[in-house]
């Protein structure tokens, strides 16, 4: 057992990075040593707020500090090489989703972490959402209620804030709405129902120029999933999938149809009805992003300090299934044919 506190740094001061910092303040076994961001002024401002060192060079942050943990929120095109450097320096890593831009990169991260004997985990905060926990509990407690249809949607509604230019580049970003807006809902689908045998994807871009569209990531997608001869499903990705909701943040919902019950789950509620539409259960929740991030970080830190007593909820190796799902989805969009996530997963 290691003695605390754990010396930490945050790479990337976007909304997720700031959320990680805010969550870390709530634990006496985390000590914030440094923050890093490509924006020098932002890094200095946030460092002053948290009384720690500021860096606008990720490489220098890693070289000049001996950390226990590195929390990574920066986009991977700006820090992938430094993430590997941190692993080789024996820093334990908590990575904001997605784990990587493609399956090959994810597999490389996982293998490197295993070789170096460090913990690499993904901050899948939805695994700690009360509505998701209620859905997970229902699935486990009603294993005989075999669902036959899954319907899900995820996306980011229209915003006045322009999208970062790197998000349009498939090399820098790795993907569009499927990778970034659907990561959490895909994680929920795989966690509760397993990896589909086949996925078939049709993706679209709002770019009018057909030539330019080849170089941009997708804005919308429809993914058909086949799990077995009984269970199939559809996942809608993009702004159109969630435009009817008044919420301004990222949105997602999941519905599972069984022979006797229908389960509905979204960010704030969980509901079960019978085959005639009569409500059997409905729960409303008021947990928020900060609370979920605190739970994710508590799980990560507690596992490092007391591993025998604290099971790690979202190790990176488990998330290779999510990456295989996404890789198969993009491959299907290119080939126009159904693809098998398990075939990609076997590459590891």
pLDDT, one tens digit per residue, over 127-145 is 999 999 999 999 999 988 8
Neighbouring residues of 270: CB distance < 8 A, sequence distance ≥ 6: 130, 131, 134, 135, 138, 263, 264, 281, 282, 283, 285
Distance CA 330, CA 209 (A): 21
Helix (H, G, I), strand (E, B) or coil at 325: helix
The residue-averaged pLDDT of 142-160 equals: 85
pLDDT at res. 211:
52
Angle (nearest 5°) at CA 77 between 328 and 13: 115
Residue 47's φ and ψ, nearest 5 degrees, are: -60, -40
267-294: pLDDT as tens digits: 999 999 998 989 999 999 999 999 999 9
pLDDT for res 2: 54
Whole-number pLDDT of residue 104: 96
Q: Specify the pLDDT at position 166.
A: 85
Region of residue 110 (left: phi > 0; alpha: psi -120 to 50; beta: else): alpha
Query: Which pLDDT band, with edges at 50, 70 and 90, does 163 fall under?
Result: confident
Q: What is the mean pLDDT of residues 167-189?
A: 93
The answer, yes or no, to whether residue 102 has pLDDT greater than 60, is yes
Residue 207 pLDDT > 80: no
Token code pair at residue 259: 């022979």
CB atoms within 10 A of CB 141: 9
Residue 161 has a pLDDT of 65
Distance between first and last Cα of the chain: 31
- Ranges 2-6, 71-75, 78-82: which has the least confidence: 2-6
Q: Give the H or E element holding residue 63.
A: helix 58-64
Q: What is the pLDDT of residue 341?
A: 98
283-337: pLDDT as tens digits? 999 999 999 999 999 999 999 999 999 999 999 999 999 999 999 999 999 999 9
Cα-trace Rg, the chain: 20
Range 69-86 average pLDDT: 96
Predicted structure pTM score? 0.92
192 vs 1, residue with greater confidence: 192
User: What proportion of the chain, given as a percentage, has pLDDT over 70?
Assistant: 91
List, for residues 105-120, the tens digit of each pLDDT value.
999 999 999 999 999 9
CB 154 within 8 A of CB 254: no
Q: How confident is the model at residue 84 (pLDDT cuts 50, 70, 90)?
A: very high
Can you give the pLDDT at residue 237? Answer: 93
């Amino acid at each position: 057992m290691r003695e605390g506190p754990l010396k930490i740094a945050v790479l990337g001061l976007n909304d997720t990075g700031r959320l990680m910092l805010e969550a870390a303040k709530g634990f006496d076994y985390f000590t914030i040593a440094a923050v890093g961001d490509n924006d020098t002024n932002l890094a200095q401002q946030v460092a002053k707020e948290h009384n720690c060192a500021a860096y606008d060079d990720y490489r220098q942050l890693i070289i000049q500090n001996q950390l226990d943990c590195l929390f990574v929120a920066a986009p991977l095109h700006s820090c992938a090489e430094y993430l590997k450097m941190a692993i080789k320096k024996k820093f334990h890593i908590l990575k904001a989703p997605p784990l990587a831009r493609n399956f090959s990169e994810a597999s490389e991260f996982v293998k490197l972490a295993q070789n170096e004997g460090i913990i690499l985990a993904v901050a899948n905060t939805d695994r700690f959402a009360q509505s998701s926990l209620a859905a997970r509990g229902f699935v486990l407690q009603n294993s005989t209620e075999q669902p036959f249809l899954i319907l899900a949607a995820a996306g980011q509604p229209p915003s006045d804030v322009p999208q970062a230019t790197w998000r349009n580049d498939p090399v820098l970003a790795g993907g569009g709405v499927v990778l970034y807006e659907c990561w959490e809902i895909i994680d929920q689908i795989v966690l509760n129902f397993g990896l589909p045998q086949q996925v078939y994807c049709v993706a679209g871009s709002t770019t009018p120029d057909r030539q330019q569209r080849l170089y941009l990531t997708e804005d919308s997608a429809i993914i058909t999933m086949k799990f077995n001869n009984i269970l199939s499903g559809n996942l809608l990705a993009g702004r159109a999938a969630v435009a009817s909701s008044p919420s301004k943040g990222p949105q997602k919902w999941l519905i599972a149809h069984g022979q006797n019950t229908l389960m509905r789950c979204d960010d704030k509620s969980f509901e079960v009805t019978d085959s005639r539409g009569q409500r059997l259960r409905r729960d409303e929740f008021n947990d928020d992003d900060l609370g979920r991030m605190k739970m994710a970080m508590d799980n990560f830190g507690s596992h490092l300090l007391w591993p025998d007593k604290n099971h790690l909820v979202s190790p990176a190796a488990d998330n290779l299934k999510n990456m295989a799902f996404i890789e198969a989805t993009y491959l299907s969009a290119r080939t126009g044919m159904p693809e098998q996530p398990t075939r990609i997963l076997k590459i590891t």
